[in-house]
Amino acid sequence: MERYLVLGASGGIGGAMTAALRGRGAAVTTLSRRADGLDLTDPDLVDRALDPLAGPFDGILIATGGLEIAGRRPEKALRQIEAAAMAAQFALNATGPALVLRHAPRLLPRDRRAWVAALSARVGSIGDNRAGGWYGYRAAKAALNQIVRCAAIELARTHPRAICVALHPGTVATALTADYRGTRPAHAPETAARNLLAVLDALGPADSGGFRDWQGAPVPW
């Protein structure tokens, strides 16, 4: 039986991915702030949640993150930048996943294909940025992409069949996007989960270190 680990399982995408994987007959271990007190901004709590886990897992999904933190909306102009708000964005959306990735080498198998994926966002793409604004969130997601890239390079040395990627799930109808998607069409979380699993199923070790959207297309760095 395949085994998976989903962090952020109480969220819309994390919950849908958990259901989809279990629907395939897999065993899924879940962690979340709501159910388990997992706080990615606290290194001790991250280690306390992950240290007891024993691999190997066939896949690890980091489905955590936040757009509004402590009620601070994304910045629209330079004058709105606040140091504390930007630090909070990095703590949750970049440093937190990095703390999780510290555990990936011991939780992934060395002798077979496995993946670790972090939910990123297209707005974290530097090359695709044509609108500006959202300084903290964009910068934190760009940092996450770099962290994933570095982790992929390191993992390849000891886990040659591992795949480590950043994924853009598209606009998904969750609480995170409720105030920001406007008239843009949004996928249901269940649809997003099917899309992301299809992308992960199609990737191989040569794709490790990449940034893919929900259709499997590369997203510019």
CA distance 76 to 133: 5
CA distance 113 to 106: 14
221 in any annotated domain: no
The 10s digit of each residue's pLDDT in 132-182 is: 999 999 999 999 999 999 999 999 999 999 999 999 998 887 766 666 656
219 in any annotated domain: no
pTM to 2 decimal places: 0.94
109 in any annotated domain: yes
CATH number for the domain harbouring residue 50 = 3.40.50.720
175 in any annotated domain: yes
List the domain range (segments joined by +) for residue 122.
3-213
What pLDDT score does 173 carry?
A: 75
220 in any annotated domain: no
CA distance 9 to 31: 6
181 in any annotated domain: yes
218 in any annotated domain: no
Look up residue 10 and give its two tokens: 């109480």
CA 220: distance to chain centroid?
Answer: 17
CA distance 123 to 130: 9
What pLDDT score does 183 carry?
A: 61
CA distance 183 to 160: 43
Confidence bin at 78 (pLDDT 50/70/90)? very high
State how many domains the chain has. Answer: 1
